[in-house]
Chain A
C-alpha cells in the first residue's frame, strides 16, 4: 500500500455553480464517507467535471458549501484531493518514472528518493520495464496507468477521477476498469469517479449518483448493488 491519508469524507451541501449567465450545477447535495467510492454519471455538459473541480478546491461554488475532511476552505480541499483528468497529461519531456514521481518531488522529496519510491509500483501496475520510456512510446492504456500511479503518489485521501479511460478503445477500457477496481480495493481512498460508462460506474464504485442535463441536479443516489445497467440508463434518459 502507498503511504497516504487513508481516505477522507466529502460533504457537498446544496451546491450550485455556473459561469457567467450559464448555470452548470443546481442544488447538489452528497455525503461521501471516508474510504468509499462514488461514481457520478450524467450526460455531457451536466457539470460532472465542474463538480470535481469544486471538490478539489480549484473553484469555489456560487452557492452551498463543500468540505473535504472537515475543511471547507479551497486550500484545505486542495490539500486533500488529487485529480486525474481525462487526458493523461503526462509531461512528454519526462520518463514514465519521473512523471509518476512528480507529486513526491513537488512535495519536496529529492528526485532520487522520489524515483525509488515510485519504482516498486511499476511492477504492481504492470509497467515493469517501461520506467525509462518517454510517454509517447507507451500505449494509451499504459499512459493511463502511469497517470493513475502519479495520482496515487500524490498521497491524498481523495482521488477525483475524471473519465480516466474515456479516450481508450472499448477493450482496453474494460480491461483497465477491472484493474482500477482491483487496485482501489487495495488502496483505501475516497474516490469520486466521473464516467459516461454506466457499467464502469457499477463495477468500480459502491454508490452511483446520476445528474440531470445542465444545470446538473441530482436525479438518483443509490448503492450499486441496488442498481442495474437498465436502471441507470432509464435514470439518464429521464
Chain B
C-alpha cells in the first residue's frame, strides 16, 4: 500500500490544481489546468510523440556518452594520482560554467545535428558519475586493501577486483542523478540548436497547455531513464541491494 502512496498524493495535487484554476477562473496563459494539458496532449499527440522520440534519442545518446566519459575519467583519475591532483579541481570548477552559455558555441562548432546535443547532455551528466565513482573507489575499506596485498594482489588487481566493484553502487547513484539531469540538458541543447524535439512545442510560451503537455512528456522521459538505470543496477549488481 505504502508503495503506491504517491498515486494518492498525485491525484490529490491534480484535483486541487484543477479546482483552483476552475474556481478562481485563472486564465490559461497564466496557468493551464491539468485537464487542459491532457486535452493538448491528446490533440497534439502525433507531433508531441515524434518530438519526444527525438528528445529521448538525444537523452539516451548523451547519457550513454556521459557514463563512458564519466566512468573512464574516474578510472583514469583513480589510477593516476598525479593526474587527479592536476585535473580534478579544474573539473569541479568547470561545473560552474552554465551549459546554457556554451551550448550555442557547441552548435557553432559541431552543427545542428545530433552530435552537439548529445555532447551537451553528456557535459551536464558526466560529473555526478565521475564524482560518485571516485568516492566509491575511495570507500573500499583500508583493511580489505591491506588483506588483498597479502593475498598476492598487485595494485592493478586491487583496483579491478576490489575497488571498481566496490564502487559500483556509487557509480549507479551518480548515474541516477545524471539521468535526472539528462532531460533538462537535452532541452537546453534543443533551445540552442533546434532539433524537432520537445523544445519546439515550448517556443510559444503563451500556449501554456501545449507547453504543459511537452513538460509532462519530458518528465516522463526523465522518469523512464531513471527507471532504466535502477533496473540495470538491480540486474548488474544484485548483491548491493540484498546487502
Contacts and interface: CB of A to CB of B under 8 A. Distances in A.
Interface of A: 53, 56, 58, 78, 81-85, 87, 89, 91-93, 102-107, 134, 136, 150-151, 154-156, 160
Interface stretch (B8-16, B35-43, B144-152, B212-220): B144-152
B212 to A, nearest CB: 44
B143 A87 contact: yes
Contacts, number: 61
Given A89-B144, A92-B239, A134-B239, A58 B157 contact: no
A122 to B, nearest CB: 18
A85 B239 contact: no
Contacts of B141: 89
Contacts of B149: 58, 78
Given A89-B144, A136-B243, A106 B154 contact: yes
Nearest to B237: A93
Name the prevailing secondary structure of the A interface residues: mixed
Contact of A156 (B150, B153, B242): B150
Given A53-B146, A89-B143, A136 B242 contact: yes
Name the prevailing secondary structure of the B interface residues: helix
Contacts of A87: 143
B150 A81 contact: yes
Interface of B: 141, 143-144, 146-154, 157, 161-162, 165, 237, 239-240, 242-243
7 contacts: A78-B150, A83-B150, A89-B144, A89-B147, A91-B162, A102-B161, A106-B148
A85 B151 contact: no
Contact of A91 (B157, B165, B240, B243): B165
B146 A103 contact: no
A43 B144 CA distance: 24
A85 B165 contact: no
Contacts of B148: 106
Contact of B151 (A53, A58, A102): A102
Given A83-B146, A91-B165, A154 B152 contact: yes
B150 A56 contact: yes
Contact of B146 (A58, A150, A155): A58
B151 A151 contact: yes
Contact of A93 (B147, B153, B154, B239): B239
A85 B143 CA distance: 8
B143 A106 contact: no
Contacts of B152: 103-104, 106-107, 154-155
B242 A82 contact: no
A147 to B, nearest CB: 9
Given A85-B143, A106-B151, A134-B239, 9 more contacts: A53-B146, A56-B150, A58-B150, A83-B146, A83-B147, A89-B141, A91-B162, A92-B240, A106-B153
Contacts of A150: 151
A188 to B, nearest CB: 19
A60 B237 CA distance: 38
Q: Which 3 A-B pairs have the closest CB atoms?
A: A106-B152, A103-B151, A83-B150
B237 A85 contact: no
Contacts of A160: 150
Contacts of A78: 149-150
A105 B237 CA distance: 22
Of the candidates B146, B147, B165, the one having the most CB atoms from chain A within 10 angstroms of its own CB is B147
Contacts of A151: 151
B239 A106 contact: no
Contacts of A155: 152
A81 B162 CA distance: 20
B165 A106 contact: no
Contacts of A156: 150
Contact of A85 (B147, B161, B243): B147
A44 B60 CA distance: 54
Contacts of B162: 91
A56 B165 CA distance: 26
